[in-house]
Amino acid sequence: MTKEIHFQCQIECSSICCGGATIITLEEINRFYKHFPITIGFRKVYPVDSLHSNYLNDITFKYKNFFIIGDFIAGNRFRKKCQFLKNALCTLHSQQKPLQCIIIPFSVTFPEEYQDKVIKEKKKGSFKNCAGFGKIFPIVWDGTFRDIELRNNFYKLKEALRLQVDLMEKIFSQLTETPFFSKFIISKDGLFEVPLTDKFLKEIFMRASIENLTDFIKIQKAMFIRELTTEKFKNSLFTEALNVIEKINI
């Protein structure tokens, strides 16, 4: 029997899901590069069955015997909370929030029918103390999404990942000689994070419809410097990202 999921976001516990970084898609870069420092991340995804495996074929690529999803990381994952979280409220306009943030606590790396499995796992970890679950809240999923807006955003995010999977596979194939690649390959989980290097930056610019490339470089450089001078939240990758972006000739 399918379990119903009752959920309604509660601002009191927003620090649970609003960490220092979020995931954005290629088509969202143009909207968020003025707000967040941006890098690229790769994660392994293990299918639970053949249905899940078929689903992943659309949004991930295969490397050896596992699936890899590539996306863009907006923000500094070493920060405890998002820089746009003020008094437990997101200061970005609701319609301007990244799709990943909008569909929380659900995950697009699993089919719509499997979201109960997603929530079950999340409740064991980071969402253990989330106050948004409970019978007093509306049913948002009962095998499929009941909330139409949530469902639309879920599939919008899935489609955006599908459209960028070829680029992500291309980028990944150029990273085999970089530090930490081997460690990522032999590890069970983890994140392989890399800067936007000049090898593929121009293609990203073109496909993300970024018109003012000079503005992009200037703003991203300032953001990396800001994060590197904030001692509490130093992300060592940002040093490399800053070095890369300073050498880019547009």
pLDDT above 80 (res 15)? no
Can you give the pTM of this predicted structure?
0.93
Residue 222: the pLDDT is: 95
> What is the pLDDT averaged over residues 94-104?
86
> What is the pLDDT averaged over residues 212-238?
89
> What is the pLDDT averaged over residues 159-184?
94
Residue 93: the pLDDT is: 63
| Separation between Cα atoms, residue 194 and residue 201, nearest integer Å | 12
Is residue 248 within 8 Å of 217, Cβ to Cβ?
yes
Residue 94: the pLDDT is: 59
| Separation between Cα atoms, residue 134 and residue 199, nearest integer Å | 48
> What is the pLDDT averaged over residues 11-36?
89
pLDDT above 70 (res 140)? yes
Domain boundaries, the chain: 5-246
Residue 246: the pLDDT is: 86
> What is the pLDDT averaged over residues 38-67?
95
End-to-end C-alpha distance for the chain, whole angstroms: 57
Name every residue whose Cβ is closer than 8 Å to that of residue 201 and which is 6 or more positions away in sequence: 248
Residue 221: the pLDDT is: 94
Residue 236: the pLDDT is: 87
SS3 state of residue 1: coil
